[in-house]
């Protein structure tokens, strides 16, 4: 027993030294020393200091992150739409009628203008055709195959490489300070779950997103969940606080977004008692990423920018505040 305990001690010595060294290093090296970085560090310090009046016990340290435009890029189109278009192409041989039927015809011809001209209804048709009709296990395999092969058109990298290095550091930093980090995205919950643990360190059970209905069936004696072409939940705008309440059941103390679609999530977070932290990522860097806000059809940030200023929320100016955007940037 003594020997086993001594052995445990050596492990602990090593572990402890590692922690001490890490604490001394900058936890957010890809952030310039501007106001947003300072605001993050100040907030985390005050809610983790035990004798601070603003101390928050670990179980209440819930941080929620939008995904598209907040943790990874969302240009030139939502990555999930690129996935849907690729899926429509892959499924086309089984659907000869798509050659003559919109929006499939346009999708197959790569004519995005016509696809978008069909509005939300056309996009919904594409998503349903590409996301439903299989089992949850089959869909997971399809997503995993796609994310490990498909490349972003501008960067020629896997889409899962086009994530923001400063946000990866922020996720780790919050977790090292006792936070549970959650994704609250308008994107499909099953489109994110297969890869978020590896890329963001966020387990699948901490992902909230849009979903279609599933149905339990026994097929050849084996239970399966079949994905149905019916909307279950659209996790956007005023539905984000609804999703947070449904899945988490407590109010976050920190929220991170980049568009008007995240505004209610930030409002809901800000309205809780005690210290709160709300942050918007403002896309201002056309050179390294993209620059867009009030008039963008994707990730519009208009009302949210006004409210952030009125309420003194933190706004990240990507160009000024981030030393590095992507992990592949040097």
Task: Give contact residues for its own copies (rule: CB under 8 A).
Answer: 1, 4-5, 8-9, 12-13, 16-17, 20, 59, 62, 136, 180, 189-190, 193, 197, 203-205, 207, 211, 213-216, 218, 222-223, 225, 232, 238-239, 241-242, 245-250, 264, 267-268, 271
CA 60/CA 252 separation, integer angstroms: 8
Nearest distance from C-beta of residue 232 to its own copies, angstroms: 8
* Residue 308 structure tokens: 């952030």
Nearest distance from C-beta of residue 246 to its own copies, angstroms: 6
Q: Which is nearer to its own copies, 20 or 25 (CB)?
A: 20
CB 195 within 8 A of CB 214: no
Nearest distance from C-beta of residue 86 to its own copies, angstroms: 23
Q: Which is nearer to its own copies, 92 or 248 (CB)?
A: 248
Q: Which is nearer to its own copies, 213 or 323 (CB)?
A: 213
Q: Which is nearer to its own copies, 196 or 316 (CB)?
A: 196
DSSP string covering 246-291, please? HHT-S--SEEEESSGGGHHHHHHHHTSSS--EEEEEE-B-TTTS-B
Map residue 162 onto helix, strand or coil: coil
Nearest distance from C-beta of residue 221 to its own copies, angstroms: 9
Map residue 234 onto helix, strand or coil: coil
Q: Which residues contact 215 (CB under 8 A, 6 or more apart)?
A: 225, 226, 228
CA 214/CA 289 separation, integer angstroms: 37
Q: Which is nearer to its own copies, 12 or 286 (CB)?
A: 12
Q: Which is nearer to its own copies, 190 or 289 (CB)?
A: 190
Q: DSSP state, 76?
A: S
Nearest distance from C-beta of residue 9 to its own copies, angstroms: 7
Nearest distance from C-beta of residue 225 to its own copies, angstroms: 5
Closest CA to 190 of 175, 209, 171: 209
CA 109/CA 212 separation, integer angstroms: 27
């Amino acid at each position: 027993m003594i020997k086993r305990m001594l052995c445990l001690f050596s492990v602990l010595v090593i572990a402890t030294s590692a922690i001490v060294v890490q604490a001394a290093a900058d936890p957010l090296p890809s952030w310039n020393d501007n106001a947003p970085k300072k605001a993050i560090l100040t907030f985390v310090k005050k809610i983790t200091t035990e004798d601070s009046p603003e101390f928050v016990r670990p179980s209440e340290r819930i941080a929620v992150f939008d995904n598209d435009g907040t943790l990874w890029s969302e240009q030139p189109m939502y990555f999930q739409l690129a996935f849907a278009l690729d899926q429509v192409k892959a499924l086309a041989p089984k659907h000869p009628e798509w050659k003559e039927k919109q929006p499939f015809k346009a999708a197959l011809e790569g004519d995005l203008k016509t696809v978008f001209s069909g509005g939300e209804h056309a996009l919904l048709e594409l998503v349903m055709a590409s996301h439903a009709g299989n089992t949850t296990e089959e869909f997971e395999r399809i997503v995993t195959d796609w994310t490990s092969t498909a490349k972003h058109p501008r960067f020629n990298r896997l889409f899962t490489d086009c994530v923001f290095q400063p946000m990866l550091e922020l996720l780790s930093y919050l977790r090292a300070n006792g936070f549970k980090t959650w994704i609250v995205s308008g994107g499909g919950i099953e489109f994110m779950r297969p890869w978020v643990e590896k890329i963001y360190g966020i387990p699948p059970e901490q992902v909230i997103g849009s979903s279609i209905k599933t149905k339990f069936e026994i097929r050849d004696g084996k239970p399966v969940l079949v994905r149905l072409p019916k909307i279950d939940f659209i996790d956007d705008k005023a539905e984000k606080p609804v999703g947070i309440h449904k899945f988490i059941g407590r109010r976050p103390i920190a929220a991170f977004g980049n568009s008007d679609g995240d505004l209610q999530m930030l409002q809901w977070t800000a309205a809780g008692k005690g210290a709160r932290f709300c942050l918007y990522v403002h896309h201002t860097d056309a050179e390294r990423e993209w620059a867009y806000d009030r008039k963008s059809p994707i990730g519009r940030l208009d009302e949210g920018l006004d409210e952030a200023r009125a309420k003194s929320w933190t706004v990240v100016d990507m160009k000024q505040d981030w030393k590095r955007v992507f992990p592949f940037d040097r």
